[in-house]
Amino acid sequence: VFCSGSRSSKTFKPKKNIPEGSHQYELLKHAEATLGSGNLRMAVMLPEGEDLNEWVAVNTVDFFNQINMLYGTITDFCTEESCPVMSAGPKYEYHWADGTNIKKPIKCSAPKYIDYLMTWVQDQLDDETLFPSKIGVPFPKNFMSVAKTILKRLFRVYAHIYHQHFDPVIQLQEEAHLNTSFKHFIFFVQEFNLIDRRELAPLQELIEKLTSKDR
- Is 95 marked as a binding-site residue? no
- Is 160 marked as a binding-site residue? yes
- Is 165 marked as a binding-site residue? yes
The distance of Cα 105 from the centroid of its chain, to the nearest Å, equals 21
- Is 163 marked as a binding-site residue? no
Q: Which residues lie across from 93 on neighbouring strands?
A: 87
Containing 86, the helix (H) or strand (E) segment is strand 86-87
The distance of Cα 4 from the centroid of its chain, to the nearest Å, equals 22
Angstrom distance (rounded) from CA 51 to CA 56:
9
Residue 36: count other Cβ atoms within 10 Å of its Cβ: 9
Angstrom distance (rounded) from CA 80 to CA 77:
10
Residue 55: count other Cβ atoms within 10 Å of its Cβ: 21
User: Which of 187, 152, 208 is closest to 41 using CA atoms?
Assistant: 187
In the chain, the largest separation of any two C-alpha atoms, in whole Å, equals 50
Binding residues: 78, 83, 160, 165
Binding residues for Zn(2+): 78, 83, 160, 165
